[in-house]
Amino acid sequence: MGQLGFDFGEQPKRLTRVTPARLSTFDDCPRRYRMNYLDRPTPQRSGPWAHSTLGAVVHTALRELFDLPVQRRTPERAAALVTQHWKDGGFADAEQAAVYRERARRWVADYVEHNDVSGDPVGLERWVSAPAAPEGGPPSLIVEGRADRIDARGGELVVVDYKTGKRAPDEYEARASQALALYAVAAARTLRKPCRRVELHHLPSGTIAAAEHTDDSLRRQLRRAHETATDLRTATDTLSEGGDPDEVFPARTGRHCAWCDFRPSCADGRRAAQAVLPWALLASRDDGAMTE
């Protein structure tokens, strides 16, 4: 039996594999999903985003920090790892990149200074996977993905997700996050331990937003994932049977088109929102939300 009491003994004919990233991309805009995951060659995309570059560097630095022996996990070492892995992709110029490099160094140094980093995580960017049955009975989907960090605390697992965006997330967001809930289900199954607690660690503000899931709250998230996965599967099958790509995977325009990677290949999105500059979504408000 799994964490939620599912019986995995009976195998269905067809399981849909889903990651949190695929589900949220499809929910946000089916056309974007198609361009990202199905269209080959991949349609033209925009260049790098500074906030994505920054987030990737911070994630890498923290992963490598926890690979070190405990006595070497110092604020200085954490800052040095940011410098070591730094990239300038998406920043306005070298000067702006240097400002954010220093900010990122300070964020990770403060993180090490103010949090207990002496425990050895059981997973660092670890791939976890689980069959899941939101309605009970045989599983209908496989949820999987790469969790930033999985801790073992007091006999249970804790899913940790690092955030480097503009706004500090709150407990409601931690509880409502489909990605965190699915990682909790998959971690429990992969690592064979209960996992109910999920945490968002926001580096720029030094805050942690946490939530404790119940069987019911995890089941609700799985049900939602199942519904999206069913729509996604139907659309994919219809496309492969010759369906019209724009009807089967319609454009869902909105503010998000301003920073969509596939704007260069999507006339609807370009009409719907003015593009923002590649550094407009950085954590600090100092640069403003500048548009092209």
Contact 148, 183 (CB under 8 A): no
200, 260, 281, 283: which one binds ligand SF4 (CB under 6 A): 260
Tell which positions 65-124 bind ligand SF4, by CB under 6 A: none
Give exposure, 136-150, as e/b (b: 16+ Cβ within 10 Å): eebbbbbbbbebbbb
Contact 187, 123 (CB under 8 A): yes
The answer to whether residue 235 forms part of the interface with ligand SF4 (CB under 6 A) is no
Q: Which is nearest to 44 in space by CA: 287, 288, 260, 275?
A: 260
The answer to whether residue 257 forms part of the interface with ligand SF4 (CB under 6 A) is yes
Provide the minimum distance between the beta carbon of 249 and ligand SF4 in the complex, in angstroms, as a whole number.
9
Provide the minimum distance between the beta carbon of 35 and ligand SF4 in the complex, in angstroms, as a whole number.
6
Span from 89-97, 218-226, 250-258, 274-282 in contact with ligand SF4 (CB under 6 A)? 250-258
Tell the residue number behind the tokens 């899913």, with chain if given: 159
Span from 17-25, 140-148, 256-264, 278-286 in contact with ligand SF4 (CB under 6 A)? 256-264
The answer to whether residue 269 forms part of the interface with ligand SF4 (CB under 6 A) is yes
The answer to whether residue 268 forms part of the interface with ligand SF4 (CB under 6 A) is yes
DSSP characters for 257-271?
GGG-TTGGG-HHHHH
- Site size toward ligand SF4 (CB under 6 A) is 14
210, 256, 264, 277: which one binds ligand SF4 (CB under 6 A): 256
Q: What is the rounded CA–CA span in Å between residue 275 and residue 269?
A: 9
266, 280, 281, 282: which one binds ligand SF4 (CB under 6 A): 266
Provide the minimum distance between the beta carbon of 212 and ligand SF4 in the complex, in angstroms, as a whole number.
34
Helices 178-191, 20-28: crossing angle, 10 deg rounding? 160
Span from 94-102, 167-175, 194-202, 264-272 in contact with ligand SF4 (CB under 6 A)? 264-272
Contact 195, 157 (CB under 8 A): yes
The answer to whether residue 22 forms part of the interface with ligand SF4 (CB under 6 A) is no
Contact 161, 131 (CB under 8 A): no
86, 188, 263, 283: which one binds ligand SF4 (CB under 6 A): 263
Among the residues of the chain, which ranges form H helices?
Answer: 20-28, 30-33, 50-67, 75-85, 94-114, 171-176, 178-191, 215-240, 245-248, 267-272
**Binding mask of the shown chain, residues 32 to 61, with x at each position contacting ligand SF4 by CB under 6 A:** x-----------------------------
> What is the DSSP secondary structure assignment for residue 38, as one 8-state letter?
I
Cβ-closest residue to ligand SF4? 269
For ligand SF4, the closer of residues 174 and 257 by Cβ is 257
Strand partners, 130: 143
Span from 80-88, 91-99, 262-270, 284-292 in contact with ligand SF4 (CB under 6 A)? 262-270
Residue 175 tokens read as 């509880």
Residues making contact with ligand SF4 (CB under 6 A): 29, 31-32, 251-253, 256-257, 260, 262-263, 266, 268-269
